[in-house]
Chain A
Amino acid sequence: MRNFIQFLVKNSFVFLFLFLEVIAFALLIKNNNYQNSKFFNSSNYLVGNLYESVSNVTDYFNLKTTNSELAQHNAELLSANINSFTKIYGNTILINDTSYFQKYVYTSAKVINNSTNQRENYITLDKGAINGIKPGMAVVNSNGIIGIVKNVSPNFSSVISLLHQKMSISGKLKKSEYFGSVIWDSDENNHRTATLKEIPNHVDIQNGDTIITSGFSAIFPEGLPIGTVQYFDVPKGSNFYNIVIELTTDFKQLSHVYVVKSLQKEELDKLEALIPEDVN
């Protein structure tokens, strides 16, 4: 012990230097976006492998719920399958591959890291650039929406969770088609709720109304469930509702998700970019 203290005293200059450098780098990573993303990308690469092996073990604990979820989802898909419909007009024959145009492609992925109690929550997936995942793709599961891919490394991708201060998703009321923004604020919402804003106060709303994605951004397919109205009020002096919604996705229980690639997003973005900003 005495030797140890002697060692500390003898090298106190070096330790002061290291201490100040640690402060400097902590400030650097916390306050600068570029260094921050670099740091987290490389740590994603290192830690991602660790997370994956941990998640390989912990996955077994969720196996039962995951199985039942998958089975239920399978059943839904089967019932939505084209083979489970009979044609009403028996004498016309539609050729499916020309009358349908594929708009979204789904890739399944596994959640290997997830946070729900920060102000800005991120999710890490075990699929990355080599699986065709790109920044800006939507992430959903069978219950509802999850988030948007932010960074990809060859084998992993990090996703901005819906539970993120800066996340804003276009959602609409299923009943009346009025649309607004779904946002999440750690001061007002917990991991089961979010807030729907910009719905004018003349719209008729009931507790329990369903909110779905509007499909305007072309990131999320239209009609995915987001949540149900938990309660709502009109803030004093405002023309808009403040609607608290209960999310259909339980962010504490994520394991298998789908990454959605929109095949028309580029085309849509290109078209919308043509609109000059100053047209009234």
Chain B
Amino acid sequence: MLIDIIKHSTRFLALLLLQGLVLNNIELSDYINPFLYVLFILSLPLNASKYLVLILSFVMGISIDIFSSTLGMHTAACVFTGFLRPYILKILEPRDGYETNFSVNIADMGMKWYATYVVIMVFAHHLFLFYVESFSFGQFFSTFGRALVSTIFTLILISITQLFYYKPSKKRR
């Protein structure tokens, strides 16, 4: 239990600093902003209370906002992602339920499950974020396109992080 708290706090800090100090400065052709920090919300334990997930999402969002001086923008998107998470988990639940000791990563959950989960969550987060940023449905398709392209870039970064977990033998524990 304690080790879990330390693990997730470390991940929180690492992703916060990575996003705030490095990734926020990446702006390819004015369109692509990767938002890797959303991985923190995705990687919270499967059995964590949904209230806790929501509040941690809020904390993550507001910390990122303070870093990038866009107070409220990432908070809104993160809270939305945290709200969506239990419902997505429910939809993707295998027939015989989740194994309680599994972490949310590619090695434990398997390629197919993890890919579906990450694509849905990251796209939902980015879509919400970019519409909050433009704050209107005026340029609907331009905003949609930006969200889509940034999602792809974030997904690439997430798959790089998953290389850390990848073990040729499928069962890790």
- Are the C-beta atoms of B135 and A24 separated by less than 8 Å? no
At the interface, yes or no: B50 with Cβ under 8 Å from chain A?
yes
Question: Contact: A29 with B54, CB < 8 Å?
Answer: no
B132 at the interface (CB under 8 A from A): yes
User: How far, in Å, is A37 (CB) from chain B's closest CB?
Assistant: 9
* Docked CA distance A14–B136 (Å): 24
Q: B82 to chain A: which residues have CB within 8 Å?
A: 17
- Interface stretch of the complex, out of B10-18, B65-73, B115-123, B146-154: B65-73
Question: Across the interface, which residues of A come within 8 angstroms of B55, CB to CB?
Answer: 16, 20
Q: Which residues of B contact A28 (CB under 8 A)?
A: 71-73, 75-76, 132
Looking at chain A's contact residues, the main secondary structure is helix
Q: Are B61 and A24 in contact (CB under 8 A)?
A: yes
- Which residues of chain B are within 8 angstroms of A35 by Cβ–Cβ distance? 72-73, 132, 135
Query: Given the complex, which residues of A lie within 8 Å of B166, measured CB to CB?
Result: none
B72 contacts which chain A residues (CB < 8 A)?
Answer: 24-32, 35
Find chain B residues with CB under 8 A from A27 CB.
62, 65, 71-72, 75
Please name 18 pairs of A and B residues whose Cβ atoms are closer than 8 Å in the assembled complex, sorted by A. Answer: A13-B50, A13-B86, A14-B83, A17-B79, A20-B54, A20-B79, A23-B58, A24-B75, A24-B76, A27-B62, A27-B65, A30-B71, A31-B71, A31-B72, A34-B135, A35-B72, A35-B73, A38-B135
A13-B54, A25-B72 known; 16 new pairs, CB 8 Å cut-off, are A13-B83, A13-B86, A16-B54, A17-B54, A20-B55, A21-B76, A24-B79, A25-B76, A26-B72, A27-B62, A28-B73, A28-B76, A35-B72, A35-B73, A38-B136, A39-B135
List residues of chain A with CB under 8 Å of any chain B CB: 12-14, 16-17, 20-21, 23-32, 34-35, 38-39, 42
